[in-house]
Structure 1
Amino acid sequence: MVSSYCYPPSVERQTSSIMAAPNSTTEFPPGFAEESSAHCILIPVVIFFPITILLAAIRTWTRHTMTGLGAEDWVLLLALAFGLATDAMFLFMTAHGFGRHVQTVSPADLTLALRAFWLSQMTYKASLHLTKISLLLFYTRIFHHISRFRRVASTLVFLIATYLVATCIASVMQCSPVQKAWSFRTPGTCTRVLDFFIFNAAASLATDVAVWALPVPLVWGLKLPRGQKLALVPVFGLGGFVVVVAAMRLYSLAAPTAPNPDPTYDLWGTTLTIVEFNLAIVCVCLPSVRVFLVKLLPGVFPGTSVHRSTAPGSGGPHHSPERIVGRLLPSNSGCTSEGGGSVSLSAISVAKMKRDQTSSDEDMLGRGYHGGIKKTVRYDVEYGMTRYN
């Protein structure tokens, strides 16, 4: 996943073409001023804007009703907020020149578009890297019993969070004074922005590969039914596609043709950027969407065999004590106590049964009790026995 856009790799290198803004005497070839590539922004934004909101809402509702919201859920909601802000700023930029040839954009519109672009660099990076952090937090909870995996995932969380703060600060300070980033007439200097973008792209791509590949050996090695294993293919398939998009973005920055001579019109790199961070959010939401579909359409999407009920006043999902006792301790059974007396299981009274607070991770990956990782649930049971001699 890339931490940059195609516009412009270096503000200073684009000054001469951008300052060739139209005036009353400027003439263009027929149809030149009317040409537009704004659809490169509008189409992906219009598609992903409602999809990410819908999938995030499904994920949040599913997690809230089944296990309660965890740290990764709040981080993902924050990533979604930054992502929607980035989409909105891209739409703002199309209203102020993005999609038109740079020579046809007025200086006033260009200043507004560049200011929005400057802001979107930070919101984009925040959305992208917070999404990765959310996924890693989910990994650490799912595979918390594997200490080595947990340490690696926690280290990646720290590195990505540190990198996010550092790269946002560097983006803010890329020009001195700051307003030089969107105002060409302001005296000042800018860093070698293209080199900075390429470095960010390479570093971000490396973390993408690490986050995507980290759980693959564990998940694919699970003894899952064929249907459940196939259900994981879209999750990792889309994750792999995000990595491919990030690699394409890196190539577009490092290609010999960079910097782009017409950055407001040639928006291929911008399209890849929009697809990248939005698709990352979609990937993180997919496991919960599967659980939602299993609950909504159990006949179409076979899921787990776990049935839950909510104990009065518990505020959360619990296994039904009656169901557990009825399954494990049938009423027509008998056993012998240590003192030699017969114990009537029908006389057992459950005084307390408390479920461990570990969340329903097997459901989040669509795993049941038919195979694969099984979560151990601890119950404290107090009972009384009536002895018959």
Structure 2
Amino acid sequence: MVLVVTFAIADIFAGAFICWPIHYLWAESHDGHCINIWKFYRYGTLPNIIIDVFMLILPMPVVWRLQVSRQVKMGLGATFLTGSIGLATSIARTVTFFKHDPLADATWISVTFLIWSIVEPGVYLIAACLPCYRPLIKFILERNQKATSTPYRAKGPNDLSLKSSYSARKDESFHAGSTRPQSDIEMGTPVRPRVASGHESDEQSLISYRI
């Protein structure tokens, strides 16, 4: 932590007072001097890579000495290694500074440098927040799983045989001319058949239709 804070303060002051007096940076007619701007831009990003590597390696021995299962250790290791995506952008930014001369055409080349200078801290911020996304991702996956699961049970041969036997029993009771109320299994209410000789009752039509 001391190393990171110290380097941040040094980088801020070096960038702010890269020339002295400060206006000498854009008005070189005045007496003044600047540090080697070319080397400052190129080698000023190298400490970021070195510090990032140490930050990734530092917690690993502690993680693997924990009295937990191997699966938990691997999960913790993967959580810490998410910072490696920020390390990749830091390396890309450094390579860009080494491939181009920042002083050759400052107006044109500075666009590329500025893009990578914005991408690098943005990716680090995403990497730092990745462990917090796990509950959100789990919630989304469970919600999608519930949405795609079918709420209906497939009909098997047993269902068809049960309904056929039930229909046969209902028909027999109606044709027998029974006036005792028959319990409707599906509706849960007693149904009193109205039997007409040689004709199907309304209740029979309803039951046959529903089955």
TM-score scaled to structure 1, two decimals? 0.31
Aligned to 1:159: 3
Evaluate the alpha carbon distance shift between residue 186 and residue 261 of structure 1 in structure 2; reply closer, same or farther with a 3 A threshold. same
Evaluate the alpha carbon distance shift between residue 158 and residue 287 of structure 1 in structure 2; reply closer, same or farther with a 3 A threshold. same
Distance in 2 of aligned mates of 1:300 and 1:214:
37
Structure 2: tracts of 5 or more residues without a match = 145-211
- Aligned-partner SS, 1:258: coil
Shift of 1:240: 1.6
The structure carrying a bigger helix percent of its residues is: 2
1:223 counterpart = 2:66: no
1:252 counterpart = 2:96: yes
- Aligned-partner residue type, residue 290 of structure 1: R
Q: Deviations over 1:45-100 (max 9, x none)?
A: xxxxxxxxxxxxxxxxxxxxxxxxxxxxxxxxxxxxxxxxxxxxxxxxxxxxxxxx
1:290 counterpart = 2:134: yes
Aligned to 2:125: 281
- Aligned-partner residue type, residue 81 of structure 2: F
1:299-378 alignment, distance < 5 Å? 299=142
1:202 counterpart = 2:83: no
1:109-124 alignment, distance < 5 Å? none
- Give 2:105's match in structure 1, choosing from 231, 244, 262: 262
- Aligned-partner SS, 1:265: helix
Aligned-residue CA RMSD (Å): 3.3
Shift of 1:195: 1.6
Aligned to 1:236: 81
Shift of 1:260: 5.1
Equivalent pair of 2:85/2:124 in contact (CA under 8 Å): no
Q: Deviations over 1:214-259 (max 9, x none)?
A: 2234446752548x9469647624x22322222232233234x524
TM-score scaled to structure 2, two decimals? 0.53
- Aligned-partner SS, 2:45: helix
Equivalent pair of 2:38/2:103 in contact (CA under 8 Å): no
- Runs ≥4 in structure 1, deviation > 6 angstroms? none
Identical amino acids, percent of aligned pairs: 20
Evaluate the alpha carbon distance shift between residue 249 and residue 236 of structure 1 in structure 2; reply closer, same or farther with a 3 A threshold. same
Distance in 2 of aligned mates of 1:172 and 1:229:
43
Distance in 2 of aligned mates of 1:251 and 1:173:
25
Aligned residues: 140
